A and B are shown apart, each in its own frame.
Chain A
């Protein structure tokens, strides 16, 4: 039995690499993360002739420089995991640019097989490619494939495996390209030095290291520095050459290297590899026609608005249905467990802490699934790139990216969204700074859970202008998100805009299987990761709102009152009085006052009271504070906690009339309080499910905590300003 082979799949974005990966591994794949960064690590298993092959899907890259995380990952997997074979999926229609990556892989010395993918489209464009010739000129096997239909995939795998077997045990043979009279002599000298010092030669070919130093590659410099003298010698040699090239040719090594690489590629392609049958007549492809409409000056934005609105509608109207089922399921579970377990702490923990907590998380799953399904459709069809293309000019002004629009809208850019899928939608952004600014500001939007609070407060103070105040709140969300993004991008996430240079892939009908796989893997990641952390936090919040409990002495007066009322009720009953509702009401009142007292006594309550000196400037007293602390669990909780704090018992967020009356009649509450509370709820810390999602997408708890602290401070500032001005 021969050993298990490892095969890495490389390729440009939009080359059909992911489709090929799906075709090769089928459902036998799983997704993880590379430690510390948010690049997906996809792996799978394939069987070739009954032999098990481990397949690693490298992130899609155009090159192997060190500017993006994707490239660093692709490079280090090849260098460190030493796959037995690298299969480079190239888009046959754009062969020249796609071979740029292939050549760099060959320079690393990796054993390579080329998958000449999308052959059907290339043929339709009138291209003829001589695969045999390409194979003999490059010295690597070339197999024609159409990954969408699976055509050629079996052959590709057979070829890759047999070539890997033939090369097994032999050293890698890096390709050496000439980089011209200015660089070649320097490369020779650097190679000699590297070989003499055995500098990194266990990981990379000497020539590759030399080229990376000439390209001024930060990652290579970082790896090299601990080696001391050799590294600094190489760096200074590279700097010398750069200076020389600048002085004599007004250019720099990186540009020269790229030119020679492309030169090498076109010298191969020109030897009769590619021929265009109707090269004279550039046919206006179907995709271009679509673009004339879909990115039209006037119709383009209109159609885009329509599509974004449709996505929002589908996510929240259709997603609502299974969400309702899940809610009923957890409601039923709640009731069943409540009935089965004896009263006490354990029951309260299981029911309020665990079941409600997990139920809250699982409730988001249908929304996330529907949203990801549609995003996968937009991405795979090529429309997502057009959205970015059309909106980039607007968003760039605020330090964001055209793709930022999706997270904003899903988060509640159209009131009623949800920041959890919104933050997760920021995954489509490939520019790290813009992505971070997007996911930190998306939670400012008017999400669905904030609406009950808005409706309550607006209903009390602005009953005549409900619709327009609600609209202004949605607008306030957008304005805050954009301005804060601008602020963040000029302070903590400062830096040049990431280059926009982006491919506009031709429109394609996505494959059903691809859509399902993408949707499922993203949803499952949410369930798995968020589920564990969120369960822990919801238990913590339950503890904070439950403990410490009222002492026996504190409960005693309530018991006495209850006993008195019960005694009176018994008397009345004995006297033949029919209507006992008044007594029952008084009993309920006592219970509610006790709940208020218990909440006030809990850790959360004490926190609410402790921060009153600060929040009073924004017009919030301790009752509101507790509700806002509870709102960190989920914004829906604000209304019900406020109800408990006002001794009204548990208030249903949907029917909060008693609470509204209570607030309306409270002299403490003025319209200034109302507006301050509205803006605070709109802007303060995202709910913890969102915070966990931010951690997941930004790859660090630091940013998750930042969003909690910064947003709360920002909200408090705004609320205080509004309240102080309003109370003048």
Chain B
């Protein structure tokens, strides 16, 4: 049983696999350059004090992106 939800809705501490990245242009390139591609496992490790941006753990490193950037990514839990 798996559901597809926007990355924004992932809670801190929750893990998921990326199902789709819909960003194009510069943002799309940046996201892919950082290894955020379908199939990659991500875990939300924290949110900034104002709930935005969000910190994500991928294999071996942590990166942060803004909520409106996370909206271009859906994940499977």
Contact = CB atoms under 8 A, between A and B. Distances in A.
Interface of A: 14, 62-63, 65, 67, 91, 93-97, 100, 122, 125, 127, 252, 254-255, 258-259, 262, 282, 287-288, 291-292, 295-298, 300-301, 385, 389-390, 392-394, 396, 498-506
Contact of B55 (A67, A96, A254, A504): A504
Given A288-B45, A500-B53, A97 B26 contact: no
Nearest to B56: A504
Given A97-B35, A259-B38, A254 B45 contact: no
Nearest to B50: A393
B58 to A, nearest CB: 7
Contact of B24 (A95, A125, A254): A254
Contact of A65 (B29, B34, B59): B29
A499 B61 CA distance: 18
B60 A394 contact: no
Given A96-B59, A506-B62, A254 B49 contact: no
Contact of A393 (B27, B48, B58, B59): B48
Most interface-central of B58, B60, B62 (chain A CB within 10 A): B60
Given A255-B21, A393-B50, A499-B26, A100 B63 contact: no
A433 B52 CA distance: 21
A394 B49 CA distance: 11
Nearest to B51: A393
Given A389-B55, A392-B48, A500-B69, A94 B29 contact: no
Contacts of B65: 499-502
Rank and list the top 10 A-B pairs by shortest CB-CB distance, nearest first: A94-B60, A97-B35, A393-B50, A258-B32, A62-B33, A63-B33, A94-B61, A93-B60, A504-B62, A499-B30
A389 B64 contact: yes
Given A393-B53, A499-B30, A252 B46 contact: no
B69 to A, nearest CB: 6
Contact of B60 (A95, A298, A392, A502): A95
B37 A258 contact: yes
The CB with the most chain B CB atoms within 10 A, among A295, A297, A501, is that of A501
Contacts of A252: 24
A255 B33 contact: no
B23 to A, nearest CB: 9
Contact of B29 (A67, A97, A282): A67
Contacts of A295: 46, 48-49, 55
Given A254-B28, A262-B35, A291 B50 contact: no
B10 interface: no
B5 interface: no
Given A262-B37, A292-B46, A392-B48, A503 B61 contact: yes
> A93, A252, A259, A393 — which one has the most chain B CB atoms within 10 A of its CB?
A393
Contacts of A100: 33, 35
Contacts of B51: 393
Nearest to A276: B59
A142 to B, nearest CB: 17
A125 B60 CA distance: 9
Contacts of B58: 94, 97
Contacts of A288: 45
Contact of A300 (B30, B49, B66): B49
Nearest to A266: B39
24 contacts: A65-B29, A91-B60, A93-B60, A93-B61, A94-B59, A96-B35, A96-B59, A96-B60, A100-B33, A100-B35, A258-B29, A259-B38, A262-B37, A295-B46, A298-B49, A390-B50, A393-B48, A396-B66, A499-B27, A501-B30, A503-B63, A504-B62, A505-B62, A506-B62
A9 B29 CA distance: 23
Contacts of A502: 63-65
Contacts of B21: 255
A498 B29 CA distance: 12
Contacts of A298: 49
B64 to A, nearest CB: 5
B33 A65 contact: yes
A63 B29 CA distance: 9
A639 to B, nearest CB: 42
Contacts of A127: 60
A711 to B, nearest CB: 30
A86 to B, nearest CB: 18
Contacts of A93: 60-61
Contact of B26 (A67, A96, A393, A396): A67
Contacts of A498: 26
A255 B28 contact: yes
Contacts of B30: 62, 67, 499, 501
B74 to A, nearest CB: 13
Contacts of B53: 389, 392-393, 500
A213 B75 CA distance: 30
Contacts of B26: 67, 498-499
B31 A501 contact: yes
Interface in B1-53: 21, 24, 26-38, 43, 45-46, 48-53
Contacts of B61: 14, 91, 93-94, 97, 503, 505-506
